[in-house]
């Protein structure tokens, strides 16, 4: 499985920046990378009044950000091992609950001592929580089992912390919306092909997008490419050692728990079970890989996740699993290699003037999703330094669009919303309750030819049938709503099926295998998708 | 939630759903009204969006609980059971109408109305009262309601002196036979005694099924627990238990565990020993132990196997029994549901749906040349008679007549 970029969709819907017609844009701040950090940096910079451009080689939040379990850490995970990271987490947890409630489900979290855990760790955990300012409360095992009846009944201790879950795609797009409201230009599907140097100074980047090449000149360039930050830095002639740390996750068909459940133990593989939207995700692993774009998922890793799930929730192995996927953490190392879990999860802002004698170029790396806002703040503070100005950060106070009313997301909200349109609107994705109107709005908003981009906005095709019943419906609507040719629409269908299949096939068994057969009959048997008319060059791609 | 089994096999069955939609095509309610979004939607799909105590889909209330979806599902999803549980949560979250409480307690009504049955029956059949009841309570003015017999089977049973017999069987008669139709219960005793059984009638109250189907789970649990507590000593002693109310029998066999989530030894042993009366008699016949001294009954009858009877998973033993009766012509009706689904079709907002669900069945009955309509479930018989004007009887009543008892 690789997370290769697909430069298939246009970035229509974005306001055309000044000077774009001649293939040039001038701005104060150029942000490279459209993950949570980049989106946060773009928002922060735009809010401070800098003219800002963000470029991302694929769609927003498709690198590491869109490929994690969805846990908004309380910081509990790091209290013993990495108190600095823990402090950052709880600080940001509190802020994000305030400014991004629409993206967050307030599930709460439990740290439980399972039979394979060191019983003494819980006391160190409590001390660590107190030292780092994380609210913690011990509850009895019976109470823990009442709250989460499927938990391993052999747990010996249970501690409640303010973990939550977060929809990363929604968070990133909320940042993008806010940034563009403040005048930023956000360009997904624009890949950096070179960094512009102006003597010792970095002066921007050349990017290739659907409309050709763009030359973006900037006063300061912020490299927020996460696990790919080393590649971007190298283009500027700098060395940044970011080791991609691969983590895999497995999603179950429905929620087995409604609270985030962590093993009360030093961070290890498969020790978190996260209820995110309609599924539970068990994660994760941590393995160094060489190339953030090319790494495998082995059967053994999947098996380890299932075993880990079984330890937290007996019967986990018998539960239907929907898919497996992985993401690569940006693990920043200044010196020699180490075990990935020993690398600090705190973040770092690198000013390459001091490190490499390269001016106006910053790299923000390390960190975690839940500290993205703080990372952005630190990065833009540093950018202010480069620009010789001082403007205060306001992202901790101003809520994201649709947030700010302390109305956390509820899993039942889509079901409740569906009640209002039950009788007059078609359901396109039955599993995730995606209405026709919601799909049409998303297509209009994104102007995207890629169903996978729509998927991230709506969860289209992310439920039990993994696109078996919605792909053909959505393709027809996409074809109708856009000016795609039949061949292009066919390609969109095939690419979506291919994308779904990537995460399905490594762990197909039991109920999901049965589903895959039915889906296969629909697409091969009834629709004969392998012989859909495609343009010749399209056929070569799929 | 203490009664919920730790590992929830009903919810987990949603994992088997492949979205094939067979349940939706089989659902009689979804086919009759757009108000119900269908069993796949409210079952395995919506369940993924539910957390304990949350209730977001009021349309679920239009599920009649007939259980045909669970029977139709080729993958083994307990669709109806998922829906029943979700409905109970919904009823807890929302204000439950007084009506649902009233309709859920037949034994309370029975005890109150039996001494004043003529008055009660007058009121229940009085047009003005019914219009009033529709407006104030939401009980549809035309819905079929039973009449009180003015006596109870329990009282009859206490006085009844059976002849000596070699075998014993326990009779679970249910509320209907006790308060509304004691003659059915008496015929059942006669049929069993004719076959050499001494019929034991332990004290018994409501099984809690109407409470359960109206989503009042806590009270339903206490009712069924009390009932199985009364029956368990007999079951442990090896006695078989027969039921003439097919839906109440199903409650003991399956639903108390699968819907109410009760896991205890009393229920387990009672479940194992409980038989639908026709199942029991057909088993006897298969073992060569059923008396077949039937007289000719030169009649034509229709037979409708109600959904709750089909929920037993025992086929249609009534047909095997009726086939033993000389000169009786039986027309098997291949319809899924009469619409009433216990108390569903009695409710004002659901009466028309229920009548529409049953329309095919009613048409089959009225267009047939049958003198009688035979059906295992009491509420279905009331509905059939209400809709067709034809008398409807339990299969045991036909056997009783054929035995000449």
- pLDDT-based confidence at A341, cuts 50/70/90? low
How much is the pLDDT for A447? 76
The domain defined by A103-164+243-332 folds into: D-Amino Acid Oxidase; Chain A, domain 2 (3.30.9)
pLDDT at residue A335, rounded to an integer: 55
- Chain B partners of A414 at a C-beta cutoff of 8 Å? 49
Question: For residue A463, which residues of chain B lie inside 8 Å, CB to CB?
Answer: 48
CA-CA distance, B165 to A122, in Å (whole number)? 68
Name every chain A residue with its beta carbon within 8 A of the beta carbon of B45.
Answer: 430-431, 433
Encode pLDDT of A140-159 as tens digits. 999 999 999 999 999 999 99
Is pLDDT of A538 > 80?
Answer: no
**Predicted pLDDT at A37:** 98
> Is the Cβ pair B48, A153 closer than 8 Å?
no
Chain A residues lying within 8 Å of B54, measured CB to CB: 410-412
Encode pLDDT of A407-461 as tens digits. 999 999 999 999 999 988 999 999 999 999 999 999 998 877 789 999 999 999 9
| CB contacts, 8 Å: A420 with chain B | none
The distance of A267 to chain B (nearest Cα, Å) reads: 28
Q: State how far the Cα of A341 lies from the Cα of A295, in Å rounded to an integer.
A: 18
| Residue A15: other Cβ atoms inside 10 A | 11
d(CA B34, nearest CA chain A) in Å: 7
pLDDT of residue A343: 58
Query: CA triplet A152, A158, A162: central angle to 5 degrees?
Result: 115
The residue of chain A nearest to residue B16, with distances taken between CA atoms, is A511
Task: With CB atoms and an 8 Å threshold, state whether B54 touches A413.
Answer: no
Q: What is the pLDDT of residue A10?
A: 33
The CA distance from B49 to B356, in Å, is: 31
Which pairing describes strands A279-283 and A212-223: parallel, antiparallel, or unpaired?
Answer: unpaired
Contact A254 B57 (CB under 8 A): no
- Please compute, for residue A86, the number of CA atoms within 13 A of its CA located in the half-sphere on the CB side: 22
Chain B interface residues (partner A, CB cutoff 8 A): 1, 4, 6-8, 11-12, 14-20, 34-35, 37, 40-41, 44-52, 54-59, 75
Computed over every residue of chain A, the mean pLDDT equals 92
Chain A: nearest CA to B111, how far in angstroms? 38
pLDDT in tens, B157-183: 999 998 889 999 999 999 999 999 999
Give the pLDDT score at A336: 44
Cα–Cα distance between B394 and B186 in angstroms, integer?
12
Sort out which chain A residues have CB atoms less than 8 A from B42's CB and list them.
Answer: none
The tokens for B203 are 């004290």
- According to the model, what pLDDT value does residue B164 have? 87
CA distance B46 to chain A (A): 7
Residue B58 pLDDT exceeds 60: yes
Cα–Cα distance, B57 to B91 (Å, whole number): 11
CA distance B354 to A413: 30
Q: Which residue of A has its CA nearest to B37?
A: A422
Query: What are the pLDDT digits (tens) for B103-150?
Result: 999 999 999 999 999 999 999 999 999 999 999 999 999 999 999 999
Phi/psi for B385 (5° steps) reads -65, -40
Least confident of A49-53, A453-457, B395-399: A453-457
Instruction: Tell me if B248 sits within 8 A of B306, measured CB to CB.
Output: no
Residue of B nearest to A511 (CA): B16
Q: How far is Cα B107 from Cα B178, in angstroms, rounded to an integer?
A: 9
**Chain B: residue whose CA lies nearest to A258:** B51
Measure CB to CB from residue A511 to each of B16, B45, B54 and give the nearest one.
B16
pLDDT (0 to 100) of residue A89: 95
- Substitution target from B4, B19, B40 for chain A, most A beta carbons within 10 A: B19
pLDDT bracket for residue A331 (50, 70, 90)? confident
What's the pLDDT score for residue A22? 80
The predicted pLDDT at position A3 comes to: 31
Q: Is the pLDDT of residue A310 over 70?
A: yes
- pLDDT at position A338 over 80: no
Task: Please report which residue ranges of A362-509 form alpha helices under DSSP H.
Answer: 372-387, 413-421, 436-446, 451-458, 471-481, 486-504
Q: Nearest-CA residue of chain B relative to A413?
A: B56
Neighbours of A285 (CB within 10 A): 21
Nearest CA in chain B to A313: B7
Contact A412 B15 (CB under 8 A): no
pLDDT tens for each residue of A155-213: 999 999 999 999 999 999 999 999 999 999 999 999 999 999 999 999 999 999 998 99
Question: Which of B6, B7, B11, B15 to mutate against chain A (most A CBs within 10 Å)?
Answer: B15
Q: Does the distance separating the beta carbons of B8 and A518 come in below 8 Å?
A: no
Which chain B residues are Cβ-neighbours of A422 within 8 angstroms? 37, 59
Half-sphere exposure of B306 (CA within 13 A, CB side): 32
As a whole number of angstroms, the distance between CA B42 and CA B250 comes to 23
Nearest to A419 among B6, B47, B59 (CB): B59
Q: How far is A481 from chain B (nearest CA, A)?
A: 27
Complex-level ipTM = 0.92
Mean pLDDT of A534-540: 66
Q: Check residues A444 and A5 and name the one with the higher pLDDT.
A: A444
Choose from B4, B49, B83 for mutation: most chain A CBs within 10 A. Answer: B49
Which candidate from B34, B41, B49 shows the least CB-CB separation from A423? B34
Chain B nearest CA to A253, separation (Å): 6
pLDDT digits (tens, 9 = 90+) for B266-287: 999 999 999 999 999 999 999 9
The stretch A29-40 carries a mean pLDDT of 98
CB contact under 8 A, B15 and A146: no
Contacts of A418 in chain B (CB under 8 A): 57
Selecting from B6, B37, B54 the residue whose C-beta is nearest the C-beta of A422 gives: B37
- Annotate A55-70 with b (16+ C-beta within 10 A) or e (fewer): bbbbbbbbbbbbbbbb
Angle at B23 between CA B21 and CA B27, to 5 degrees: 125
Provide the shortest C-alpha distance from residue A252 to chain B (in Å).
Answer: 9
Instruction: Considering only the beta carbons, identify the residue of B7, B48, B52 that sits closest to A278.
Output: B48
Binding-site residues on chain A for chain B (CB distance < 8 A): 145-146, 149-150, 153, 253-255, 258, 278, 314-315, 318-320, 410-416, 418-419, 422-423, 427, 430-431, 433, 463-465, 468-469, 511, 514-515, 518
Closest in B19, B40, B46 to A415, CB measured? B46
Q: Do A468 and B19 touch (CB under 8 A)?
A: yes
Which chain A residue has the Cα nearest residue B20? A518
Residues of A in contact with B58 (CB under 8 A): 419
Closest C-alpha among B150, B159, B153, B162 to residue B120: B150
Residue of chain A nearest B59, judged by CA positions: A419
The confidence band for A333, taking pLDDT boundaries of 50, 70 and 90, is confident
- Measured in residues, chain A has a length of 542
Name the pLDDT band for A2 (thresholds 50, 70, 90): very low
Residues of B in contact with A413 (CB under 8 A): 56
Residue of A nearest to B19 (CA): A465
Count interface pairs A-B at CB distance under 8 A: 94
Residue ranges of domains in chain A: 103-164+243-332, 413-541
- CB-CB under 8 Å, A254 with B48: yes
If 0-12 CB within 10 Å is exposed, 13-18 middle and 19+ buried, where does residue B137 land?
middle
What pLDDT does residue B316 have? 98
- Pairing state between β A164-166 and A104-105: antiparallel
pLDDT, position A301: 95
- Contact yes or no for B48 and A422 at CB 8 A: no
């Amino acid at each position: 499985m690789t997370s290769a970029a697909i430069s298939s969709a246009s970035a229509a819907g974005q306001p055309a920046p000044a000077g774009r017609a001649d293939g040039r844009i001038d701005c104060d701040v150029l942000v490279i990378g459209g993950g949570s950090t980049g989106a946060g940096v773009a928002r922060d910079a735009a809010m401070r009044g800098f003219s800002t451009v963000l470029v991302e080689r694929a769609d927003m939040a498709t690198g590491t950000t869109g490929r994690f379990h969805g846990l908004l850490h309380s910081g509990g995970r790091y209290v013993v091992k990495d108190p600095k990271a823990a402090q950052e987490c709880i600080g940001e947890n509190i802020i994000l609950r305030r400014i991004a409630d629409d993206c967050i489900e307030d599930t709460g979290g439990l740290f439980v001592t399972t039979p394979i855990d060191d019983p003494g760790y819980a006391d160190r955990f409590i001390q660590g929580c107190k030292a780092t300012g994380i609210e913690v409360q011990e509850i009895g095992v019976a109470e823990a089992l009442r709250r989460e009846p499927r938990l391993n009944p052999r747990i010996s201790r249970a501690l409640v912390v303010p973990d939550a879950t977060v929809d990363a795609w929604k968070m990133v797009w909320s940042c993008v919306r806010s940034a563009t409201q403040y005048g930023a230009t956000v360009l997904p599907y624009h890949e950096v092909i070179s960094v512009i140097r102006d003597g010792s100074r970095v002066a921007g980047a050349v990017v290739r997008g659907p409309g050709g090449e763009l030359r973006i000149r900037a006063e300061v360039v912020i490299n927020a490419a996460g696990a790919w930050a080393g590649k971007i830095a190298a283009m500027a002639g700098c060395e940044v050692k970011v080791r991609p740390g691969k983590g895999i996750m497995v999603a179950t068909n429905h929620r087995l728990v409604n609270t985030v459940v962590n093993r009360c133990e030093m961070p290890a593989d498969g020790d978190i079970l996260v209820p995110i939207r309609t599924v539970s995700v068990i994660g994760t692993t941590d393995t160094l890989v060489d190339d953030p774009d090319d790494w495998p998922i082995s059967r053994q890793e999947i098996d380890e996740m299932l075993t880990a799930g079984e330890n937290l929730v007996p019967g986990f192995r018998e539960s239907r699993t929907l898919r497996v996927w992985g993401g690569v953490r940006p693990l920043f190392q200044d010196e020699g290699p180490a075990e990935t879990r020993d690398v600090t999860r705190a973040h770092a802002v690198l000013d390459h003037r001091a490190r490499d004698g390269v001016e106006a170029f910053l790299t923000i790396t390390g960190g975690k999703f839940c500290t993205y806002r703080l990372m952005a703040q630190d990065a833009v503070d540093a950018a202010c330094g480069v620009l010789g100005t001082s403007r205060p950060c306001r992202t901790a106070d101003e809520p994201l669009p649709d947030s700010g009313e302390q109305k956390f997301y509820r899993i039942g909200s889509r079901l409740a919303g569906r009640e209002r349109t039950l009788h007059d609107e078609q359901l396109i994705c039955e599993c995730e309750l995606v209405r026709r109107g919601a799909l049409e709005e998303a297509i209009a908003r994104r102007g995207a030819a890629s169903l996978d981009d729509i998927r991230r906005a709506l969860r289209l095709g992310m439920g039990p049938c993994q696109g078996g019943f919605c792909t053909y419906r959505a393709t027809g609507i996409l074809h109708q709503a856009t000016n795609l040719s039949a061949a292009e629409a066919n390609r969109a269908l095939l690419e979506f099926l291919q994308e779904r299949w990537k995460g399905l096939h490594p762990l197909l068994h039991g109920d999901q295998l049965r589903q895959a057969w039915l889906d296969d009959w629909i697409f091969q048997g009834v629709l004969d998708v392998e012989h859909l008319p495609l343009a010749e060059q399209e056929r070569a791609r799929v | 939630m203490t009664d919920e089994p730790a590992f929830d096999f009903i919810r987990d069955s949603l994992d088997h759903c492949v979205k094939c939609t067979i349940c939706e095509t089989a659902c009689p309610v979804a086919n009759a009204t757009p108000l119900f979004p269908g069993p796949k939607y409210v079952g395995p799909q919506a369940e993924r969006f539910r957390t304990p105590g949350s209730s977001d889909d009021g349309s679920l209330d239009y599920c009649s609980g007939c259980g045909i979806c669970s029977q139709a599902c080729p993958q083994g999803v307990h669709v109806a059971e998922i829906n029943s549980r979700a409905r109970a949560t919904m009823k807890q979250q929302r204000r439950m109408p007084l009506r649902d409480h009233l309709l859920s307690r037949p034994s309370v009504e029975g005890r109150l109305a039996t001494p004043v049955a003529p008055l009660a029956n007058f009121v229940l059949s009085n047009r003005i009262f019914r219009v009033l009841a529709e407006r104030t309570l939401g009980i549809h003015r035309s819905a079929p309601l039973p009449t009180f017999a003015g006596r109870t089977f329990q009282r009859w049973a206490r006085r009844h002196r059976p002849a000596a017999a070699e075998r014993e069987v326990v009779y679970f008669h249910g509320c209907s036979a006790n308060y509304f139709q004691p003659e059915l219960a008496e015929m059942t005793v006669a049929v069993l005694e004719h076959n050499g059984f001494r019929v034991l009638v332990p004290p018994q109250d409501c099984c809690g099924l109407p409470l359960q189907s109206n989503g009042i789970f806590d009270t339903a649990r206490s009712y069924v627990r009390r009932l199985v507590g009364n029956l368990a000593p007999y079951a442990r002693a090896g006695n078989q238990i027969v039921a003439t109310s097919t839906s109440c029998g199903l409650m003991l066999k399956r639903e108390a565990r699968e819907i109410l989530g009760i896991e205890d030894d009393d229920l387990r042993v009672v479940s194992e020993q409980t038989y639908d009366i026709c199942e029991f008699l057909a088993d006897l016949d298969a073992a060569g132990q059923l008396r077949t001294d039937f007289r000719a009954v030169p009649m034509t009858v229709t037979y409708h196997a109600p959904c709750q009877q089909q929920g037993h998973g025992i086929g249609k033993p009534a047909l095997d029994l009726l086939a033993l009766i000389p000169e009786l012509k039986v027309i098997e009706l291949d319809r899924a549901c009469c619409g009433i689904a216990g108390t569903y079709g009695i409710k004002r907002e659901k009466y028309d749906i229920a009548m529409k669900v049953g329309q095919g069945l009613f048409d089959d009955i009225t267009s047939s040349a049958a003198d009688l309509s035979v059906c295992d479930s009491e509420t279905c018989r009331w509905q059939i008679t209400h809709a067709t004007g034809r008398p409807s009887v339990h299969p045991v009543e036909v056997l009783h007549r054929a035995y000449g008892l």
